Amino acid sequence: MKLSGEFIFDGNRDEVWELLRDPDELAKALPGTQSLSKVSDNQYTGKMNVRLGPVSGMFSGKITISDEVPPESYTMQVDGRGAPGFVKGTGAIQLMEQPDNKTLMKYSGDVQIGGRLAGVGQRLVESVSKSMVKQGLETLNMALQAKHAPPPSATAPEARSPEPPPAYTPPSEMKFAMGVAKDLTTEFFSSTDRNVWLTVGVVLVSFALGYCFGQKRRGG
């Protein structure tokens, strides 16, 4: 499966670079991540709970960074395995400076999945992966915006900027699942009858919630 896209960060390239290489921030941006730690300059290992339609489970894996040209580009190799199967992928990431202190990210990658993830989750893989990437990047961007925002106590009410940056709290796993469900419905029903859209949206969100709670119950 090929994944590619662009994203604009509200920050300069050095900041974005730093953010992308910070395991704590990355872990926060991808809910389900139980741990992510840097084991060497170009290697991270971690554990992540992945949920794909009816398939869910813990993955452990490693990320290897290579061809690094700070702060412009790097390639990333992901190798994850868990009870529900395996994920293997490579991705190329490129950062380009933009006017107004913004940074354009271009990413492209090739992901191979196997096991139950492929056998049962196949039809959701592409949409869920895209959505996860999108939401992850949005969360990272929020973290960036939060850094830029002055601390609330120091700001006089009258001096408040017309559009305050949103307060940054990393999304919970459930919120993330809801986001994925919403993205899925948007993708499937962007141009069709609104009632259908709503019904399916509700169904999918309940589905996602069900899995969250189901997961918790089983965990407990």
Partner 1 sequence: MTAKYVGQPVKRNEDPRLLTGQALFVDDVHLPDMLHAAFLRSDYAHARILSIDTTAAKEMPGVVAVYTAEDLGDFWQPSPMIVQPPPTLEDIVFNPRPQIPLAKDMVRHIGDPVAVVIAESRYIAEDAAEQIWVDYEPLEVVTDIEKALEPDSPLVYEDLGTNLASHVRQEKGNYAAAAKKADLIIKRRMVIDRGAAAAMENRGIVVDWDAKTQHMTMWNTTQAPIPIRNGLAATLGLSEHQVRVIAPFVGGGFGPKIMLLQPEEVLLPWAAMRLCRPIKWIEDRRENFLGTTQERGQIHAVEAAFSKDGKILGLKDIFLHDTGAYNPYGLTIPLNTQTHSMGVYDVPNFYTEFKVVFTNKMIVTPVRGAGRPQGIFLVERMMDLAAKELGIDPVEIRRRNLIPADAFPVHHSIIGQDFIEAIYDSGNFQPLVEKARLLIGYDKFVTEEQPKLRAAGKHIGIGLAPFVESTGVGPYEGARITVESSGKVNLVTGVGTQGQSHFTSFAQIAAEQLGVAVQDVEVTTGDTDQFHWGTGTFASRGAVVAGNAIFAAAKRVRAKILAKASEVLDAPEEELELKDGAIRIADIPEKSISLGELAMLANPLRGAVEPGTEPGLEATEYFGPKYGTTASGVAAMIVEVDPDTMLIDIKKFVIAHDCGTVINPMVVDGQIHGGVSMGIGHSFYEQLIYDENGQLLNASFMDYLVPRSTDMPPSIEIAHQETKSPLNPMGSKGVGEAGAIPIPAVLAQALENALNIDGLELLEMPLSPGRLFELAQAAKNRD
Q: Distance between CA 179 and CA 171 in Å, rounded? A: 10
User: Residue 100 class from Cβ within 10 Å (0-12 exposed, 13-18 middle, 19+ buried)?
Assistant: exposed
Please state, as a whole number, how many other Cβ atoms lie within 10 Å of the Cβ of residue 63.
21
Least separation, in Å, of the C-beta of 155 and partner 1?
51
Least separation, in Å, of the C-beta of 116 and partner 1?
7
- Tokens linked to 90: 């490579």
Q: Which is nearer to partner 1, 126 or 173 (CB)?
A: 126
Please state, as a whole number, how many other Cβ atoms lie within 10 Å of the Cβ of residue 165.
15
How is 90-113 classified by DSSP, letter by letter?
A: EEEEEEEEETTTEEEEEEEEEEEE
- Nearest one of 34, 201, 31, 17 to 105, comparing CA atoms: 17
Which element (helix H / strand E) includes 81? strand 73-82
Q: Which is nearer to partner 1, 61 or 170 (CB)?
A: 61
Least separation, in Å, of the C-beta of 212 and partner 1?
20
Q: Which is nearer to partner 1, 23 or 57 (CB)?
A: 57
Q: Which is nearer to partner 1, 57 or 165 (CB)?
A: 57
Least separation, in Å, of the C-beta of 83 and partner 1?
4
Q: Which is nearer to partner 1, 87 or 140 (CB)?
A: 87
Q: Which is nearer to partner 1, 52 or 140 (CB)?
A: 52
User: Residue 219 class from Cβ within 10 Å (0-12 exposed, 13-18 middle, 19+ buried)?
Assistant: exposed
3-class secondary structure, 165: coil
List contacts with partner 1 (CB under 8 A). 54, 57, 83, 85-86, 88, 112-116, 118-120, 122-123
Least separation, in Å, of the C-beta of 85 and partner 1?
5
Least separation, in Å, of the C-beta of 31 and partner 1?
22
